A and B are shown apart, each in its own frame.
Chain A
Amino acid sequence: MAQKTSSAPPAKPPLRLFYWILIVVALVGIAALVFLVVRARVGGSAALAPVQMDTTNLRAIYARATPETIGQPGAPVKLVIFADYTCPYCGQWAAQVQPRLVQDYVNAGKLQIVYYDFPLGSEGEHQYSFLAARAARCAGEQGKFWEMHDYLFGRQSEWSFAASTPVKTFEGYARALGVDQAKFDACLESERFADVVTANHLLGERLGVNSTPTVIINEKKIDDPIKYDVLQQVIAQSGGAAK
């Protein structure tokens, strides 16, 4: 009996058991994280709808809302546009009106265009609005926002009514634009920029935007922004006469 008592194991086993438990917890945790990353990589979790955001917290909305701009920040006239990538009129604006504005006013340093996303919904004909807005932002992260903007508007019919979520279609557009494909795919197939697009939409709502495209020139809302002569007139009145 006495021999048995003296040969009792020291305190090593509990420590060894502790290490094993720690290793198991670490492995389970790492496996869970890898699973979440892989799931996001295959597109299973691409954000298609706005995130929850406190609509009463204006400071948070303003802090998160982020426009994309073209033109000099010090230009005398600012044109703010809220647009949806599935809206045909926005497509018309992007294809016909904006290039003329860029040529006549932006390049001359007289106008800055400030673009905010205003996805009209996440169902029906606008079901991919939110994803498209995020796609443009993901390309923008690599300096190709306006290229993707033009691509999305120019090919609305290819993806607006697609039977399945056009994640791969947008990734194809990104490939054509020459962005870092892996980085773009990881961005699109995640929640990235869901908060920014949501905040941009909430900002628009706060400003009374209820249709697209909504164009505001130096704080004046334009009733018919598709008409170039109307825009010319307002820009001239706002101190940005054409060249």
Chain B
Amino acid sequence: MSAGAPAPGPAAGGGPAASWPRMAVATLALAGLLISAYLLLHRLGLVGRLICGAEGSCETVQSSSYAEFLGVPVAGIGLVGYLVMMAVALAGLQPQLAGVRRVSLVLLALSLPAVAFTIYLNALEAFVIHAWCRWCIASATIVTLIFLASLADLVLGHRPAADRRLT
């Protein structure tokens, strides 16, 4: 493992320069978590009409049969997914895990299927439901950014270790 012996202190792959992708993942996942929670509460009938602009396409999407996947509300799946990604990203910011490659791989392994699932959901909106939900688009954007940040974490997070090998 390239980061197997990180130097103690903030420069060991856990400094601000190296850890920004994980900060980004945690922040984005929190935003996604809140959106998923909102949509799930709506699904459970616990909040009012979705705040969705004048055209109200969110109701069309959220009331469709595709708002559930294998009997589980899609918003609930999103909520759990974002929660796990945020937990991993926050754990990866701790000094003992900073710069550890395995954390980067876990983030990538979590975000990649999330992106695939998002593409599937967006395709349903475009070709089957014929309606776009702003909250779903926001969630799709967040998932994509999390994936890119996870990729950046894998690439950038270990540069200090490589640099150390060169010197």
Interface, chain A (partner B; CB < 8 A):
10-12, 14-15, 18, 21-22, 25-26, 29-30, 32-33, 36-37, 39-40, 44-45, 47, 51-54, 56-57, 59-60, 63-64, 186-187, 190-195, 198-199
Tell me how far the C-beta of A30 lies from the nearest C-beta in chain B, rounded to whole angstroms. 8
**Which residue of the partner chain A has the closest CB to B10?**
A11
Q: Tell whether, in the assembled complex, residue B64 and residue A52 are in contact, meaning their CB atoms are under 8 Å apart.
A: no
Measured between beta carbons, the chain B residues less than 8 angstroms from A193 are 45
The proximity string for B residues 2-43 relative to A, scoring 1 for CB distances below 8 Å and 0 otherwise, is 000000011100111001000100110011001001100110
Chain B contact-residue range equals 35 or more
Interface residues of B in 31-86 (CB under 8 A from A): 31, 34, 37-38, 41-42, 45-50, 55-57, 59-60, 63-65
A36–B63 Cα distance when bound, in Å, is 19
Q: Is the C-beta of B129 less than 8 angstroms from some C-beta in chain A?
A: yes
Q: Tell whether, in the assembled complex, residue B30 and residue A25 are in contact, meaning their CB atoms are under 8 Å apart.
A: yes
Q: Which of A12, A14, A21, A30 has the most CB of B within 10 A?
A: A14
Query: With contacts A37-B47, A40-B46, A191-B49 known, is A10 near B34, CB below 8 A?
Result: no
Q: Tell whether, in the assembled complex, residue A52 and residue B27 are in contact, meaning their CB atoms are under 8 Å apart.
A: no
Tell me how far the C-beta of B141 lies from the nearest C-beta in chain A, rounded to whole angstroms. 17
Measured between beta carbons, the chain A residues less than 8 angstroms from B131 are 54
A157–B51 Cα distance when bound, in Å, is 34
Query: With contacts A37-B41, A64-B63, A64-B64 known, is A51 near B46, CB below 8 A?
Result: no
Additional A-B contacts beyond A11-B14, A26-B30, A190-B47 (11; CB < 8 A): A15-B16, A25-B30, A25-B31, A36-B38, A37-B47, A51-B60, A51-B63, A57-B130, A59-B128, A187-B45, A194-B63
**Which residue of the partner chain A has the closest CB to B50?**
A191
Sampled A-B contacts (15; CB under 8 Å): A10-B9, A14-B16, A15-B23, A29-B30, A29-B34, A33-B38, A36-B48, A39-B48, A40-B48, A52-B56, A59-B128, A60-B64, A60-B65, A191-B42, A193-B45
Measured between beta carbons, the chain A residues less than 8 angstroms from B42 are 191
Tell me how far the C-beta of B98 lies from the nearest C-beta in chain A, rounded to whole angstroms. 10
Q: Which of B27, B31, B41, B59 has the most CB of A within 10 A?
A: B59
Q: Tell whether, in the assembled complex, residue B63 and residue A53 are in contact, meaning their CB atoms are under 8 Å apart.
A: yes
Q: Tell whether, in the assembled complex, residue A22 and residue B46 are in contact, meaning their CB atoms are under 8 Å apart.
A: no
Q: Tell whether, in the assembled complex, residue B60 and residue A53 are in contact, meaning their CB atoms are under 8 Å apart.
A: yes
A47–B60 Cα distance when bound, in Å, is 15
Query: With contacts A10-B9, A45-B48 known, is A195 near B63, CB below 8 A?
Result: yes
Query: With contacts A51-B59, A52-B55, A52-B59 known, is A15 near B46, CB below 8 A?
Result: no
Q: Is the C-beta of B143 less than 8 angstroms from some C-beta in chain A?
A: no
Tell me how far the C-beta of A201 lies from the nearest C-beta in chain B, rounded to whole angstroms. 13
Measured between beta carbons, the chain B residues less than 8 angstroms from A30 are 34
Q: Is the C-beta of B107 less than 8 angstroms from some C-beta in chain A?
A: no
Tell me how far the C-beta of A11 lies from the nearest C-beta in chain B, rounded to whole angstroms. 3
**Cβ 8 A contact of A51, one of B9, B23, B56:** B56
**Cβ 8 A contact of B45, one of A57, A59, A63, A191:** A191
Tell me how far the C-beta of B103 lies from the nearest C-beta in chain A, rounded to whole angstroms. 15
A33–B42 Cα distance when bound, in Å, is 10
**Which residue of the partner chain B has the closest CB to A64?**
B63
Tell me how far the C-beta of A64 lies from the nearest C-beta in chain B, rounded to whole angstroms. 6
Query: With contacts A33-B41, A195-B59 known, is A15 near B31, CB below 8 A?
Result: no
Tell me how far the C-beta of A48 lies from the nearest C-beta in chain B, rounded to whole angstroms. 10
The proximity string for B residues 132-167 relative to A, scoring 1 for CB distances below 8 Å and 0 otherwise, is 000000000000000000000000000000000000
Tell me how far the C-beta of A18 lies from the nearest C-beta in chain B, rounded to whole angstroms. 5
Q: Is the C-beta of B114 less than 8 angstroms from some C-beta in chain A?
A: no
Measured between beta carbons, the chain B residues less than 8 angstroms from A18 are 23, 27, 93
Measured between beta carbons, the chain B residues less than 8 angstroms from A198 are 63
